[in-house]
Structure 1
Amino acid sequence: MSTTVATIQIVTNEMNYYGPIIILIFGIFGCICNFITFTATQLRKNSCAFYFLCATIFDLLSIIFGVTTRFANDQLGSTLLHTNRVYCKLRAYLVSGIPLVSMYLILLSSIDRYMSSSVSVRFRSFSQMKIAYRATVIAIVISFLSCSHILILYDLRPVCATMPGPYTIFDSMFVVFWSGMIPHVLMLIFGFLTIMNTRRKNRRIHIRLQTTNLTVYNQTQNLERKTDKQLIIMMLVQIGLSSLLIMTRMIYYAYYILKLRATGYEKLVDSFLTSFTILVYYTNFAKSFYIYTLSSHLFRSIFIHRIKLVIRKILGQYGQSIFNDNNIQTVTAIVPSRTRNLV
């Protein structure tokens, strides 16, 4: 038993030290690459790309603020969390509100794809930039307002923690349902509705092609179908992994809040699981670039093209001679995608 205890302690300590560093490096790099891609000229007027861009900004904020403040508390000897009342409330509020905005922006992207793939002209009219601007503002306001109870009911007790009693149960349910289950269940629903819309659209195209003899029309529709399929896979992979990572953390968080206080070996295991699920949680906000890159040729093409443009600008004429490739295809649209200090 002593060997097992020592092993768990070593693994937990190493995970708490190196895990946040790895997430920071890969997360910040990935968010910068996402920003480079989604600000491409081809994507600036696309509503889905706009949601992905805004989600990337909040992913970056989630990683930088959440991971660095926790690392400072666990590894750098910072005592602000359990000694400063304002910092306690503010951190608890922001580590809930900022990631929540990111999740609901991804939900909006899945709704946008459902609307854009609909056979109804009225539904397709909702997939446009002016709607995306308004929906993004609404998502940000609702996310931060819904977390405002944290500013009131979190305090030093003597460490930064929730108000004891019924609020503890409410807080755990709020985290599990509002911050986890509700957005991801809706993402999956709209993701599969998008697939159904795409299949319905393909059937309509097939019937139309049987009554026409336009080769150009056929090629155009084939290209659109390939793009739709590629980006639907991209969106579903993002939603599927996000659901897995977030719900892993949320379910354990609720279990930890509601279970009896552990001692000895059980407490050590709880410490390991807490650290592991927190890393899993923040991995969700560091993964999007790698998911998009692996699942979408469209995303890779735009990203590589943007990187080449940046290198050309940096190197000037010499860079133009290196990357003198006029055969890069321009893609015109993208459619896919107990205490609060526990995070």
Structure 2
Amino acid sequence: MNDPKAAPAASGLSYRDAGVDIDAGDALVDRIKPFAKKTLRDGVLGGIGGFGALFEVPKKYREPVLVSGTDGVGTKLKLAFDLNKHDTVGQDLVAMSVNDILVQGAEPLFFLDYFACGKLDVDTAARVVKGIAEGCELSGCALIGGETAEMPGMYPDGEYDLAGFAVGAVEKSAIIDGKSIEPGDVVLGLASSGIHSNGFSLVRKIIERAKPDLDADFDGRSLADALMAPTRIYVKPVLALMQKVKVKGLAHITGGGLVENVPRILQEGLTAELDQSAWTMPPLFKWLQKEGGVADAEMHRVFNCGIGMVLVVSAADADAAQAQLSEAGETVSRIGTIRRSAAGEAQTVVV
């Protein structure tokens, strides 16, 4: 017999009560399907929404080697939250992975994203994913899957995290590994679009110290837009160059800058001597260095300083490579040469 004095039974709980809105997740999938559809390419066997993404390696490859990469956007996201600017970080996400696999000669085939938040804001997430799709279009790869994770209590309100995963393919005989680089080869630098996605912990510290007006004009746009400019994607012009010129080595200039990324493609006993006067450091980096009192050596280790991708070609091919890349819309500088290393010398020196 029921006790009339007992407390009334609590009403039943739902997933929404726990902070997860399944309907919002479904709405986001519907919103992003048109973005993903625009990235379809040969090889895609299924669309967004399946348990797994299906992709067939293009038949043009005789001995395909799959090349994979994964990355995030880092603390640049904190600035995106502060500015409520979410339309560029998606391209950053794609760029960090596709540029990485490009350096081994790989053509990006497909991309998957992971978006995690405490409470899903469909409009914000859709803006992010639209940027991801735009990055995929720029790199010629398909956005074929991903995951949206709503995890109450894991992230502060209004914040999220991103991770991306790219898979590409390269003919086994065409893998770029730097082994053919030799003294006398030329180092070409492709201009960056800005800070890209590295060094933002220092950037945010400099902003905290300088307290600038982020809406003020800075070199023809607002300082906020200059800081948030998305990472340049080099895939299409560099892949096209590979069809005409032997590219001996490629380095994506991310965390560690020129001095730590270029050595990753050099054999022991070789040094890349880079001439700092061969390219102009963009105004944004000069502003960061001045406002932060950052030493030259630290700038070179943290930021790309205006060079987002490095190519090594033979001296005989340098003019042709520079001309083709320029015609494709890249700003190209001949920034150095390869030589034998002196005893105990670093593999990249900036003079």
> Where is the helix percentage greater, Structure 1 or Structure 2?
1
Class of the TM-score when normalised by the shorter of the 2 chains: under 0.3
Q: State the TM-score, normalizing by the size of structure 1.
A: 0.24
> Where is the strand percentage greater, Structure 1 or Structure 2?
2
* Structure of higher RCO (CA pairs closer than 8 Å, 6+ residues apart): 1
